[in-house]
Chain A
């Protein structure tokens, strides 16, 4: 990019920030990304560019008008500069070792042919999805609502692998490492862990396919951990090492990073930060208003459909309510049929605006155990955003 391009980039960023930061409270109003932010990476379609090295790519929101998010549009988020760009399936091995009797090394073919396959439709959402809507703003990936996707994952359960290697008694945690590597020896390798009981629950799985095709390289080819109902930080990409541990796992990415306040909905106040934090874990309940978007032109007297998605950690979405008057009145949206408990559920509400002017659209989801979305929320890391959205649309 030349200097003029750069200055334009800075100019645009500055202007957006300026506009967006005026008198903002929680549930900030939304704008659409500019087409200039779009970029195309290998095996991917045009995505919203957050960063290029390591890549963080956001899914344009119109893809959420489908049950499954196409592989080429699925969001991308890596931590370390050394991401895998070439994998040789003849030499690649999934190593399973540690506190086990029969350590194992498996090719992808062996994984596919020696273990019972399973498929599950599940949402994967970045811990920091929607971070750019927190006020005051916090550092980190400045995602809008597109660091999330829903896919059919096919692979084998971690349980079946652990059964094969014969876990010794006294196992506590299971750690998962991928092919990505830190740029400096001082940077902690990205490794995450689950408790032995969680890893063996029969739902946590190793996927060799998403939506019936191989994973794109930047989405974790050839294998990816799938942790249904849990935030994406646990879904280790390019999974190469599974280690059973006789003690609690400990590293930077668990002890210092990806932690939330130990309070309701991971919330704290900027002026009174929580003293106790815990590792981020299950999704809270949320909806995303997909359309109409803030830049769509609607016409008085013409029928429209307000539509979106909603999901939680697996209890199931039972109700989505929609408001077209800024929250004064609410009406139930119609829920599409349920795909699976870890899938998102699409919803829609017919709406015919009767007069011209500006309307404030809102949506809130409720799950089977009565959890619903927040009116206010903040934490220092910008995690778990599930504030009720506000989208202003103009009717002509």
Chain B
């Protein structure tokens, strides 16, 4: 670190950020020749001045409409993820939605019974599903 140059480097970094870093790049290993007290020559990068770096996440999640199974959905699903995990998906068949709900239950340990899983699936199908075509692929893990 080079305290005396920090503000300059930060300003350059911000300028680069604002400019979109769109310049032609190269793999730069050019040392900072103004280094004084370091044994390792560092590549100049801008780091935050404040040792505590904090962000505030936005909170704007969609409200789902009333319907059978909504209560189970809100209790069991929204505790771990936004309802947008539902609206992001295509209109899957009931088979696929049930497979997703069972994955949450059996693999990730969502606190729901088999009966609740059925109710949640019905609700998801009413929100963003379609009749079974009999050929929808089952979901799997990881995204």
A5-28 at interface with B (beta carbon < 8 Å): 5-7, 9-10, 13-14, 17-18, 21
- CB of B96, distance to nearest CB on chain A (Å): 6
Q: Which residues of B, 1-44, contact A by the 8 Å Cβ criterion?
A: 1, 12-14, 16-17, 20-29, 38-44
| Beta-carbon nearest neighbor of B84 in chain A | A51
With known contacts A119-B28, A184-B108, A213-B13, A113–B40 Cβ distance under 8 A: yes
User: Is residue A380 within 8 Å, beta carbon to beta carbon, of the partner chain?
Assistant: yes
On whether the beta carbons of B21 and A68 are closer than 8 Å, the reply is yes
What is the bound-complex CA distance between A136 and B21, given in angstroms? 38
Decide if B137 is an interface residue (CB 8 Å cutoff). yes
**Interchain CA distance A254-B65 in the complex, whole Å:** 37
Write the nearest CB–CB distance from B135 to chain A, whole angstroms. Answer: 7
A142 (CB) vs chain B CBs: closest residue: B88
- CB distance A70 to B21 under 8 Å? yes
Which of A112, A187, A256 contacts B1 (CB under 8 A)? Answer: A112
| Cα distance, A49 to B83, chains bound together (Å) | 13
A residues contacting B by CB (< 8 A) are 1-3, 5-7, 9-10, 13-14, 17-18, 21, 39-43, 49-56, 63, 66-73, 77, 79, 81, 83, 85-90, 108-109, 112-121, 127-128, 131-132, 136-142, 152, 154, 183-187, 208-209, 211-214, 217-218, 221-222, 233, 252-253, 256-259, 270, 339-340, 343, 380-382
Cα distance A131–B56 in the bound complex, in angstroms = 29
Distance, CA A253 to CA B80, complexed state (A): 17
Q: Which of A89, A137, A218 contacts B51 (CB 8 A)?
A: A89
Q: Which residue of A lies closest to B46 (CB)?
A: A213
A residues within 8 A CB of B1?
109, 112-113
Q: In whole angstroms, how far apart are the Cα atoms of A257 and B108 in the complex?
A: 12
Interchain residue pairs with CB less than 8 A apart (10):
A52-B60, A70-B21, A87-B53, A113-B1, A152-B27, A187-B80, A209-B43, A222-B53, A256-B141, A339-B25
Q: Are A81 and B55 in contact (CB under 8 A)?
A: no
How many angstroms between the C-alpha atoms of A21 and B84 in the bound complex?
Answer: 21
List 14 other contacts, CB 8 Å, given A89-B52, A128-B143, A209-B47.
Answer: A3-B63, A53-B81, A55-B57, A68-B22, A68-B25, A79-B143, A86-B53, A88-B53, A113-B38, A121-B27, A136-B136, A141-B88, A212-B46, A381-B142
Given A13-B128, A66-B20, the answer on whether A53 and B29 have CB atoms closer than 8 Å is no
Closest to B138 in A: A380
Residues of A within 8 A of B142 (CB): 127-128, 140, 233, 253, 256-259, 381
B54 engages A139 (CB within 8 Å): no
Whether the pair A51, B28 counts as a contact (CB closer than 8 A) is: no
Distance of B48 from chain A, by nearest CB (Å): 6
